[in-house]
Amino acid sequence: MIRKTLTVCLTIAALALASAAPLSETSLYNLESRWSDQNGTVHRWADLRGEVRVVALIYTHCRSVCPAIVQQMKETEARLSPAERKRVAFLLVSMDPEADTSDQLRHFAENRQLGPNWLLLRGKAADVRELASTLDFKYRKNSNREFSHSAMITLLDADGEIVDQQLGLGDGSSERLRALSKLLAAPSP
Amino acid sequence: MRRVGIFWLLLCLSSLAIESTKVTIPAGSFVPLMGSQKRQALAVASFQLSRYPVTNGEFGQFLRVHPEWRRSRIKRLFAESGYLRDWVDDLHGPKGQYSSPVTNVSWFAARAYCRSVGGRLPSQNEWEWVAQASASERNGMRQPEFRRQILAWYARPNPEHWPAVQKTYRNVYGVHAMHGLVWEWVEDFNSLLVTGESRGDSSLDLDLYCAGGALSGLDPSDYPTYMRYAFRSSLKARYAVPNLGFRVAYGRTP
Amino acid sequence: MRKQFIVALAGLALVTLACSPSSPIPSSPTPSKVVEEALQGEEVAVLTHAPQVPPPIQRTHPTRVIVKLEVREHEGRLADGVRYTFWTFGGEVPGMFIRVREGDLVEFHLENHPSSKMPHNIDLHAVTGPGGGATSSFTAPGHESVFSFTTLNPGLFVYHCATAPVGMHIANGMYGLILVEPKGGLPKVDREYYVMQGDFYTRGANGEGGLQPFSMQKALDEHPDYVVFNGSVGALTGDKALQAKVGEKIRLFVGNGGPNLVSSFHVIGEIFDSVFVEGGETANHNVQTTLIPSGGAAITEFKVEVPGTFILVDHSIFRAFNKGALAMLKVAGEENKSFYSGKQDDKVYAAEGGAVQELPNRPVAQASAQSKAERMSRGADVFNQVCTACHQANGEGIPNVFPPLAQSDYLNQDPTRGVNAITNGLQGEITVNGAKFNQVMPKLTLTDEQTANVVTYVLNNFGNKGGEITPEAVKKIRK
């Protein structure tokens, strides 16, 4: 009984210590904005620590590049081993929070068959601009409600550091997989 | 009763004597150089813009209350190493430059300042709308002499010390230094997909950029504006550039 | 999946090879696009300011070359009394010369000085890639961009800034040359120089002083106020002229930054033995004037055979003499009279026939000199035209041949001897300053006025005792 309690206490303590380790100055998770996901749950960036993350900004009614971006991310996921997949999460942030309501995001996730390790976030317009600026992602809303924007996929390590960034579609999967494997192979802190 | 009346009269008179630091910009529409489909005019709602760019003195006061934005404390995510490089220390700008525009500030820091005074950065369209104005006309870009003046400023090197913001060019709205002093941050500086390779900009490289809607053709004769867009596209949000400052806008976010 | 793809590709390649008909082998050298050699090592490129050129590449293998080029905007001299804000690669116009080898991997660092007002980038015509590097090198003031490229093609290439508006950035001086030496290097020459032409557009007219702003309108109209070599009027003249010695083989790397004008490049008094047209592989020979496109270059080679000052011009000649498209190459050394004799004779030429004839109308007599000063001034002209051939410009004559006029005891003892020699000729032995001379001086066909003037001039110069001779006196002495 005592041993069990001790184990539980120690585990909690260890986890607490791990997450309390200060973020590096350049981590994306220094941003203080709040976002809600496809299920209505609110997230802060600091909560996302602990998993390697593949990130992109899209909008659900995009007909040109965003579908290809999401497809590339899905391909990356498919090529991971089951063990690796447990440690990698995928994040899509909407650049059109007005049109992309929680419901809309949930429909999108269902249609594209995005699993439980996919987070789709929406937030305030100013916060989207801030996130984009941090990633060097360019976008603008055109008068026809479509967006002109970069094609970009970013890889963050478990502490929110930008490890790899792919600009343009290209033949992204192989490069990203290499970067991901390298990241996952490194001993976790 | 009479005393109260006199008091109010004096208050009104004194407020007239002191020029307001905010200027109300009326609504309007204009065809921006870039960023409009089929060269449609874009509408700009009325808003308030600060008369001057933010000064070293004002920024120093902000830093007293917000230590996380000081040079020694700021996180690298929010500003590169040249942030406030010419400041004497954490709280004091370059000597004798209290009323000069603050420069070497990152976009993040500029935004934080704006928030702290109840405002925001102007949008690119808002900024460009006000920049159209010469000393005499709202649409100064029609005046070749005005465009020549701006181009001439671009061709001159930076001065060794920035003059005080009050001693700068004033346009028809009463706003100072939209030209001739420093470049200025806008909220959506990263909204245009110019690559810096200007010769290819008229046909977007679709591989790099998703163009859900195409951008307008460029009017090559409006060189001053073209150069401003080119400058903005060379920036990253954490950059601290020696001739880049900002000013505050107020009102509903466009 | 990847393996299958590669196998399929290989199969396809084999099939293609087997099926393609044999094609004629081109007679010109195969373009060097396939890089076969392996990179070895790393070095930092030596860059130079014009007109100097980095030394020829010695290594026989490609390497990683690190190039660091800084953009600086600053005020400088465009012409005497005329200042201009130049935007430069490396501090001067033209930009610094970059010398690399075919197959090198260049790691290019573009640094934009913090004092710059504008962002800048670079398009190197030697780069095979988007924008020639411009897309990857767009740099805000106080920042640095890095990108790499392999030099696939040899040749002499222009580089320039490609930031909007491109014409303005180029017009302000943002251009230079990059030489990609072919694998075997270039044949050895004695001297190599870097010359680059550019056109400048100022608000004021040519010569108007002060700090002149750039004129977009004139640039659009293609009406430059200045057309110069190496960034300013007179950049390569006088004591800044290019230097060489007789017998040397010279190679000029000549660029044209534009932004607008094409150059008709010519060296007055020289013929190009070879011109590598447009900086490529084709050589033309025995060329007087070669065209250098805007945004282009050429390599000219020639051997200097005689001494003198050779003027480099854009042969659209008003640009050379009125706008500054003029540079100098000073060649020192032994004369070769058979190649170039200098002026051999200066004769009066009458309209008809070979012998001197009476002109039908009496020539209008020139009014006599009114003062000694005027007499001397006119006499100087006569002296320079007539006397210097023998007595030399400094009046010292030639030992044992032509007696000196300088500090001449013969002349100073009796100035009329000079008059006599001119009007009547002189022969027989004479002693001047202790030396004997026994030549024939022919009678000269000068008027009394001219004779009086020239003798007066000689008497009052070259250390002589002074005095004045009048035309009346000459008349008396004339036989």
Q: What is the 3-state secondary structure (H, E, C) of chain C?
A: CHHHHHHHHHHHHHHHHHHCCCCCCCCCCCCCCCCCCCCCCEEECCCECCCCCCCCCCCCCCCEEEEEEEEEEEEEEEECCEEEEEEEECCCCCCCEEEEECCCEEEEEEEECCCCCCCECCEECCCCCHHHHCCCCCECCCEEEEEEEECCCCEEEEEECCCCCHHHHHHCCCEEEEEEECCCCCCCCCEEEEEEEEEECECCCCCCCEEECECHHHHHHCCCCEEEECCCCCCCCHHHCEEEECCCEEEEEEEEEECCCCEEEEEECCCEEEEEHHHCCCEEEEECEEEECCCEEEEEEEECCCCEEEEEEECCHHHHHHCCCEEEEEEECCCCCCCCCCCCCCCCCCCCCCCCCCCCCCCCCCCCCCCHHHHHHHHHHHHHHHHHHHHCCCCCCECCCECCCCCCHHHHHCCHHHHHHHHHCEECCEEECCEEECCEECCCCCCHHHHHHHHHHHHCCCCCCCCCCCHHHHHHHCC
Sort out which chain C residues have CB atoms less than 8 A from B155's CB and list them.
Answer: 85, 168, 172, 213-214
Contact B233 C138 (CB under 8 A): yes
Of C114, C142, C164, the CB nearest to B198: C164
B119-152 pLDDT per residue, tens = 999 999 999 999 999 999 998 887 888 888 888 8
Contact B196 C166 (CB under 8 A): no
Work out the pLDDT band at C357, boundaries 50, 70, 90: very low
pLDDT of residue A8: 65
User: Chain C contact for B239, CB < 8 A?
Assistant: yes
Work out the pLDDT band at C19, boundaries 50, 70, 90: very low
Distances B35 to A130, B40, B205, B213 between C-alpha atoms, Å: 20, 9, 16, 10
- The minimum CA-CA distance between A30 and chain B, rounded to whole Å, is 8
HSE toward the beta carbon, residue C330, CA cutoff 13 A: 9
C60-106 pLDDT per residue, tens = 999 999 999 999 999 999 999 999 999 999 999 999 999 999 999 99
Q: What is the CA radius of gyration of chain A?
A: 17
Tokens of C21: 């008909």
Q: Is the pLDDT of residue C44 over 60?
A: yes
Nearest by Cα to B33 from B206, B254, B202: B202
Share of chain B above pLDDT 70, in %: 83
Chains that touch B (3 or more CB pairs under 8 A): A, C
pLDDT of residue B245: 97
pLDDT of residue A170: 65
Question: How does DSSP classify residue B188?
Answer: T
Interface contacts (B, C; CB < 8 Å)? 102
Q: Is the pLDDT of residue B226 over 70?
A: yes
Nearest CA in chain B to A170: B207
pLDDT of residue A63: 85
pLDDT of residue C103: 95
Contact B213 A136 (CB under 8 A): no
> How far is the C-alpha of A77 from the C-alpha of A89, rounded, in Å?
9
pLDDT of residue C218: 94
pLDDT of residue C366: 59
Share of chain A above pLDDT 70, in %: 88
Nearest CA in chain B to C129: B197
Contact B235 C140 (CB under 8 A): yes
- The minimum CA-CA distance between C96 and chain B, rounded to whole Å, is 21
Contact A142 B190 (CB under 8 A): no
Sort out which chain B residues have CB atoms less than 8 A from C137's CB and list them.
Answer: 196
Distances C28 to B22, C25, C325 between C-alpha atoms, Å: 71, 9, 35
B86 near B104, Cβ under 8 Å? yes
Sort out which chain B residues have CB atoms less than 8 A from A147's CB and list them.
Answer: 210, 212-213
- The minimum CA-CA distance between C463 and chain B, rounded to whole Å, is 56
Helix C372-382 and helix C448-459: axis angle, to 10°?
Answer: 100
What SS3 state is found at B6?
Answer: helix
Compare B226 and C85 and report the one with higher pLDDT.
Answer: C85
Sort out which chain C residues have CB atoms less than 8 A from B82's CB and list them.
Answer: 114, 142
> How far is the C-alpha of C469 from the C-alpha of C452, rounded, in Å?
5
> How far is the C-alpha of A133 from the C-alpha of B220, rounded, in Å?
28
Contact A64 B209 (CB under 8 A): no
Pick among B198, B201, B206, B229 to test the C interface (most C CBs inside 10 A): B198
Task: Please compute the mean of the pLDDT values over residues C115-135 and round it to a whole number.
Answer: 87
C138 CB-near residues (< 8 Å, 6+ apart): B195, B196, B197, B233, B234, C119, C120, C121, C145, C163
Q: Is the pLDDT of residue C442 over 90?
A: no
Pick among C216, C218, C220 to test the B interface (most B CBs inside 10 A): C216
Task: Please compute the mean of the pLDDT values over residues A1-20 and round it to a whole number.
Answer: 64
Contact C117 B154 (CB under 8 A): yes
B198 near B230, Cβ under 8 Å? yes
C139-187 pLDDT per residue, tens = 999 999 999 999 999 999 999 999 888 899 999 999 999 999 999 999 9
Q: Is the pLDDT of residue C24 over 70?
A: no
pLDDT of residue B199: 54
- The minimum CA-CA distance between B193 and chain C, rounded to whole Å, is 12
Of B37, B190, B237, the CB nearest to A142: B37
Sort out which chain A residues have CB atoms less than 8 A from B76's CB and list them.
Answer: 25-26
A68-120 pLDDT per residue, tens = 899 989 988 998 889 888 889 999 999 999 999 999 999 999 999 999 999 99
Of C114, C131, C164, the CB nearest to B227: C164
Q: Is the pLDDT of residue B218 over 70?
A: no
Compare C444 and A20 and report the one with higher pLDDT.
Answer: C444
- The minimum CA-CA distance between C121 and chain B, rounded to whole Å, is 8
Determine which of A170-179, B166-175, C366-375 has the lowest per-residue pLDDT on average.
A170-179
pLDDT of residue B117: 96
> How far is the C-alpha of C477 from the C-alpha of C416, rounded, in Å?
8
C80 near C208, Cβ under 8 Å? no
Contact B200 C73 (CB under 8 A): no
Please state the separation of Cα C149 from the chain's center in Å.
Answer: 33
HSE toward the beta carbon, residue C448, CA cutoff 13 A: 13
User: Chain A contact for B40, CB < 8 A?
Assistant: yes
Q: B 54-93 residues with CB below 8 A of A?
A: 75-78
- The minimum CA-CA distance between B53 and chain A, rounded to whole Å, is 21
Burial class (CB in 10 A: 0-12, 13-18, 19+), B230: buried
Contact B213 A64 (CB under 8 A): no
A38-64 pLDDT per residue, tens = 999 999 999 999 999 999 999 999 988
Contact A143 B212 (CB under 8 A): no
User: Chain A contact for B35, CB < 8 A?
Assistant: yes
pLDDT of residue B34: 63
Chains that touch C (3 or more CB pairs under 8 A): B
pLDDT of residue B18: 65
Sort out which chain B residues have CB atoms less than 8 A from A64's CB and list them.
Answer: 206, 210-212
Q: B 7-26 residues with CB below 8 A of C?
A: none
Helix B144-155 and helix B223-233: axis angle, to 10°?
Answer: 40
Sort out which chain B residues have CB atoms less than 8 A from C140's CB and list them.
Answer: 231, 234-236, 239, 241
Work out the pLDDT band at C254, boundaries 50, 70, 90: very high
| Whether this model's pTM surpasses 0.80 | no
Of C115, C140, C203, the CB nearest to B234: C140
Of C131, C143, C216, the CB nearest to B200: C131
CA B119-B125-B131 angle, to 5 degrees, is 90
pLDDT of residue B201: 45
Task: Please compute the mean of the pLDDT values over residues C280-288 and round it to a whole number.
Answer: 94
pLDDT of residue C26: 36
How crowded is residue B120: how many other Cβ atoms within 10 Å of its Cβ?
20
Torsional class of C132: left (φ above 0), alpha (ψ -120 to 50), beta (otherwise): left
Contact B191 A138 (CB under 8 A): yes
Please state the separation of Cα A67 from the chain's center in Å.
Answer: 16
- Please state, rounded to an integer, the average pLDDT across all residues of chain A: 87
Contact C118 B220 (CB under 8 A): no
Q: Is the pLDDT of residue B209 over 50?
A: no
User: Chain A contact for B212, CB < 8 A?
Assistant: yes
ipTM of the complex: 0.84
Compare C372 and C23 and report the one with higher pLDDT.
Answer: C372
User: Chain A contact for B215, CB < 8 A?
Assistant: yes
> How far is the C-alpha of C215 from the C-alpha of C93, rounded, in Å?
18
Nearest CA in chain C to B82: C142
C184-243 pLDDT per residue, tens = 999 999 999 999 999 999 999 999 999 999 998 899 999 999 999 999 999 999 899 999
Tell me which residues of chain C have a C-beta less than 8 Å from any C-beta of chain B.
73-75, 85, 114-119, 121, 123, 130-131, 134-135, 137-143, 162-166, 168, 172, 203, 213-214, 216
Task: Please compute the mean of the pLDDT values over residues B196-220 and round it to a whole number.
Answer: 42
User: Chain A contact for B237, CB < 8 A?
Assistant: yes
Contact C134 B196 (CB under 8 A): yes
Tokens of B19: 């020029």
Work out the pLDDT band at C459, boundaries 50, 70, 90: very high
Determine which of A23-32, A97-106, C397-406 has the lowest per-residue pLDDT on average.
C397-406
* Pair type for strands C283-287 and C426-427: unpaired
Q: Is the pLDDT of residue B71 over 90?
A: yes
> How far is the C-alpha of B137 from the C-alpha of B133, rounded, in Å?
6
Work out the pLDDT band at B29, boundaries 50, 70, 90: confident
Interface contacts (A, B; CB < 8 Å)? 97
Of C140, C141, C168, the CB nearest to B223: C168
- The minimum CA-CA distance between B237 and chain A, rounded to whole Å, is 6
Distances C400 to C404, C406, C420, C434, C436 between C-alpha atoms, Å: 10, 15, 21, 11, 7
> How far is the C-alpha of C191 from the C-alpha of C331, rounded, in Å?
12
Burial class (CB in 10 A: 0-12, 13-18, 19+), C20: exposed
What SS3 state is found at A113?
Answer: coil
Distances C268 to C195, C265, C304, C330, C428 between C-alpha atoms, Å: 15, 10, 12, 12, 45
B148-194 pLDDT per residue, tens = 888 888 878 888 889 999 888 899 999 999 998 899 999 999 987 65
Tokens of C274: 């070879």
pLDDT of residue B211: 39
C326 near C265, Cβ under 8 Å? no
Pick among B74, B206, B209 to test the A interface (most A CBs inside 10 A): B209
